[in-house]
Amino acid sequence: MPALALADWLRSLSDERLASLLRARRDLATPPPSDSTVLATRAGTPGSIARACEQLDSAALSTYEALVVAGADTAPVPRAELAGLLGDEPALDALFALALAWDEPDSGALQVPPGARDVFGPFPAGLGESMPTLAGTDVEALDLGDDERALLRTLAAGPPIGRTKDAAADVPLASAETPVQKLLARGLLIRRDPTTVELPRELGLAVRGGTIHPPGSLGEPDLPLHPHEQSTVDRTGAGEAMELLRHTEALLRAWSDAPSPVLKSGGLGVREVKRLAKDIDVDEQRLAMLAELAVGAGLVVATGDATPEWVPTTLTDSWLSSPPAIRWMTLAQAWLDLPRLPGLSGRRDDKDKALVPLSEELRRPNAPMLRRRVLSTLSDLPRGAGVKSVEELVANLAWHAPRRGGRLRDDIVRWTMSEGSALGMVALGAITSAAAALLTDDPHGAASAMADAMPTPVEEVLVQADLTVVAPGPLEADLATEITTVADVESAGHATVYRVTEASVRRALDTGRTADDLHELFRSRSATPVPQGLTYLIDDVARRHGRLRGGAAAAFLRCDDEVLIAEVLAHSVAANYELRKIAPTVLISPFPLAELLDALRAAGFTPAAEGPDGRILDLRPSGRRVPAQRRPTAGATSYAPAPIGDEQVSAVLAHIRAGDRAATTRRGTTVRLPAGGGSDTSATMALLAQATREQREVWIGFVDSHGTATQRIVLPVRVGGGILEGSDNERYPLHRITSAALVEA
């Protein structure tokens, strides 16, 4: 049996090679196999083989598939036959290293486990069932029509089956009219049922020229590179990172002001995606990525209310106040560890339902591992070198791991490159220095590299005569706060344009700034002369601002101008908000102050809020916030299997070798005892006591803590207290021992 042959082959391996196998196929080591036979059985299961095949490149995988086509799962296949099927030198080293195939010591003939056929399905390499009578058929010499040859080429390309009504009955060649009927009559097709025909394996190979794949098609595809200066790559990536931060800030502020509802099925609704994309001025695919990053970074969560909404968390404020490089690192780390695929957003599932951002359908636990694989490939390139084409990278990675990633394998590469470029981790087809540091779990180095690459914050703006303010680069933090307070963003980008309006000046005055403060801001921070129009606007708004003052009564209004008080009382807002005059210059209202002031502003008045000490108050809402949820520390979440440590490998290896020795050792009469403890253990105790006195090795069969029956050779040191203690310091509970025998010399 092949499984037994594999066990013998495994038993012959050196400790070093067997340890490498256990590291490469960690599923073989858990729980520890009792001996090489159990290890071989486990290694030959279809599930384990399929997982191991994910580590093969196209050349090794094609070699493995060719072995299945040749029938190596039932009988040894000579290497020459395998080379003939491939038309090239077989790639066997990887198969031997993973115990997916083994060779006979003398002949070198190759075998694979029977489970390998289940991994490749019913038609390995796209070839059908074998029909030995067609072996050696020369297709070119056959008297076939063009339509028959075309059908043979179609079926030979795979899959080898076709459905047709022409297979319903046997038709003599002389009466055959269709290509299917003619080929059936010639015995060149197999009839599976009245509507299905199959092309025999031998004929399919003959049509292909005798090889499974075209000669030379298994070589690694080229990956053309374009050299760049690393500094150019880093600066380009930093520019994209700045744009990403701006869009993320805009999304957080939009959700602060108006949180989006959570769909009943989870996720962000299509209408909300369109609304937010329009408000932030991005496309819907980028909006999906921004939303996934914000939630993945813990900046936004779904509330647990009866009507849940997507609301920023308390982490948002600290994130907004952090330096740009730190903000970038938070998003970049979240993306690396994100067990989701934002690129799926907008696609449709099997039921033709649209997939939306933040929905459960976008969850893919292996996404971080596949994402890091793409970036690691870029990091292995020469410094500053970038791929010329994403599609060439897709083809190269597909060759290196054709069975990894499933149906979305190629799309994940494209999405990773696109999202990585948007994050500033990839630029010009190359990896940035910051991303390379992040891949090596060096967040401080990543933040430092990104900070160095980002443009130096500017400390001056350009004030234009049309009351626009141009920021020629990213503004220094304090200056950015001041400018956004007194002006509105008109257009954003590498050079941001702000516009100063009456409303924006009033907003600045509402925060407690005075006209002198605003004049000083533009005088000291403008690289151009301050236009008179801006000076007049500030003075005019300041002259009218705050003449009417409000406080809490729930609210009060006070003004030294009794005419203005009378004007307010005469307006409809006075009746709506139940304003009442309690002094010539004071009005009160039972409504909240913020609502009253908003109503007065809407009516054309320019009131200001004041506190108990008479100072101006800023009553603008800061947006909703909810408590942040606990997140894993950066880099702590890994969706790739954890590697086996050296100590564990050594222990498993010793376990296997001990089991092999016990299985091949000659032993005397075996005393058997029911596992779990029998009524009479005297015979077993007597045998173990004898072995202890005579210092003879004893063979025991027992059930380990995993419930697996195994066997060992033990030199007893002591028997007592329900325990057999061996010279190797191992302790075997007597109630687990099922049989025992003295080892014969």
3-state secondary structure 294-327: HHHCCCEEECCCCCCEEEEECHHHHHHCCCHHHH
pLDDT mean across residues, the chain = 87
For range 333-342, the mean pLDDT: 96
Query: What local confidence, expressed as pLDDT, does residue 480 receive?
Result: 83
Which residues have a Cβ under 8 Å from the Cβ of 213 and sit 6 or more positions away? Answer: 62, 86, 87, 125
For range 674-700, the mean pLDDT: 71
Alpha-carbon gap, residue 517 to 202, rounded angstroms: 90
> Cβ(737)–Cβ(701) under 8 Å?
yes
Q: What phi and psi, each to the nearest 5 degrees, are found at residue 101? A: -150, 160
Collapsing DSSP to helix, strand or coil, 587 comes out as: strand
Q: 163 versus 619: which is more confidently predicted?
A: 163
Collapsing DSSP to helix, strand or coil, 178 comes out as: coil
C-alpha Rg value of the chain to the nearest Å: 38
Q: Could you tell me what percentage of the chain is helix, strand and coil, using 3-state DSSP and rounding each to the nearest 5?
A: 45, 15, 40
Q: What phi and psi, each to the nearest 5 degrees, are found at residue 297? A: -85, 0
Q: What pLDDT band is residue 360 in, cutting at 50, 70 and 90?
A: very high
Alpha-carbon gap, residue 334 to 330, rounded angstroms: 6
Which residues have a Cβ under 8 Å from the Cβ of 475 and sit 6 or more positions away? Answer: 457, 458, 461, 483, 496
Q: What pLDDT band is residue 681 in, cutting at 50, 70 and 90?
A: low
**DSSP-derived pairing of the beta strands 300-302 and 190-193:** unpaired
Q: At what angle do helices 324-336 and 409-423 cross, to 10 degrees?
A: 170
For range 702-725, the mean pLDDT: 80
Q: Tell me which fold the domain 665-742 belongs to.
A: SH3 type barrels. (2.30.30)
Q: What pLDDT band is residue 456 in, cutting at 50, 70 and 90?
A: confident
- Percentage of the chain beyond pLDDT 90 is 52
Query: What local confidence, expressed as pLDDT, does residue 675 receive?
Result: 45
Collapsing DSSP to helix, strand or coil, 80 comes out as: helix
Q: Other CB atoms closer than 10 Å to residue 349's CB: what's the count? A: 11
- For residue 441, the 8-state DSSP code is T
* CB hemisphere CA count around 512 (13 angstroms): 10
Query: What local confidence, expressed as pLDDT, does residue 171 receive?
Result: 83
Alpha-carbon gap, residue 714 to 732, rounded angstroms: 10
> Cβ(247)–Cβ(424) under 8 Å?
no
277, two tokens: 């994309």
Say whether pLDDT at 77 is over 80.
yes
**DSSP-derived pairing of the beta strands 731-733 and 468-471:** unpaired
Alpha-carbon gap, residue 663 to 11, rounded angstroms: 11
Alpha-carbon gap, residue 275 to 259, rounded angstroms: 12
Query: What local confidence, expressed as pLDDT, does residue 625 receive?
Result: 75
Say whether pLDDT at 669 is over 70.
no
Q: Other CB atoms closer than 10 Å to residue 318's CB: what's the count? A: 14
The ranges assigned to domains in the chain are 2-126, 132-207, 225-453, 472-538, 549-605, 665-742
Instruction: Report the range of poorest mean pLDDT among 3-7, 13-17, 495-499, 615-619.
Output: 3-7
Q: What is the largest CA-CA distance in the chain?
A: 121
Say whether pLDDT at 674 is over 60.
no
Say whether pLDDT at 129 is over 60.
yes
Say whether pLDDT at 636 is over 50.
no
Q: What pLDDT band is residue 659 in, cutting at 50, 70 and 90?
A: confident
- For residue 600, the 8-state DSSP code is H
Collapsing DSSP to helix, strand or coil, 444 comes out as: helix
> Cβ(691)–Cβ(729) under 8 Å?
no
Q: What pLDDT band is residue 265 in, cutting at 50, 70 and 90?
A: confident
Say whether pLDDT at 637 is over 50.
no
Query: What local confidence, expressed as pLDDT, does residue 633 receive?
Result: 43
Query: What local confidence, expressed as pLDDT, does residue 412 receive?
Result: 96
* CB hemisphere CA count around 560 (13 angstroms): 3
Q: Give residue for tokens 């060096």.
A: 442
H or E segment and range at residue 699 = strand 698-703
What pTM, to 2 d.p., does this model score?
0.77
- Reported as a single tens digit per residue, the pLDDT across 207-255 is 988 888 887 778 889 999 999 999 999 999 999 999 999 999 999 999 9
H or E segment and range at residue 58 = helix 58-69
Alpha-carbon gap, residue 105 to 107, rounded angstroms: 6
Query: What local confidence, expressed as pLDDT, does residue 635 receive?
Result: 43
Candidates 656, 572, 582; CA nearest to 37 is 656
Instruction: Report the range of poorest mean pLDDT among 70-74, 539-543, 687-691.
Output: 687-691
Alpha-carbon gap, residue 55 to 64, rounded angstroms: 12
Query: What local confidence, expressed as pLDDT, does residue 256 receive?
Result: 92
Query: What local confidence, expressed as pLDDT, does residue 377 receive?
Result: 96
Alpha-carbon gap, residue 489 to 468, rounded angstroms: 10
Most confident of 336-350, 631-645, 720-734: 336-350
H or E segment and range at residue 6 = helix 2-12
> Cβ(625)–Cβ(311) under 8 Å?
yes
List helix spans (H) across 571-681. Answer: 572-576, 593-602, 646-664
Establish whether the linkage from the previous residue to 159 is cis, with ω within 30° of 0.
Answer: yes
Candidates 98, 99, 103; CA nearest to 77 is 103
Query: What local confidence, expressed as pLDDT, does residue 473 receive?
Result: 81
Beta-bridge mates of residue 626:
313
Q: What pLDDT band is residue 656 in, cutting at 50, 70 and 90?
A: confident
> Cβ(422)–Cβ(240) under 8 Å?
yes
Q: What phi and psi, each to the nearest 5 degrees, are found at residue 427? A: -150, 135
- For residue 220, the 8-state DSSP code is P
Say whether pLDDT at 631 is over 60.
no
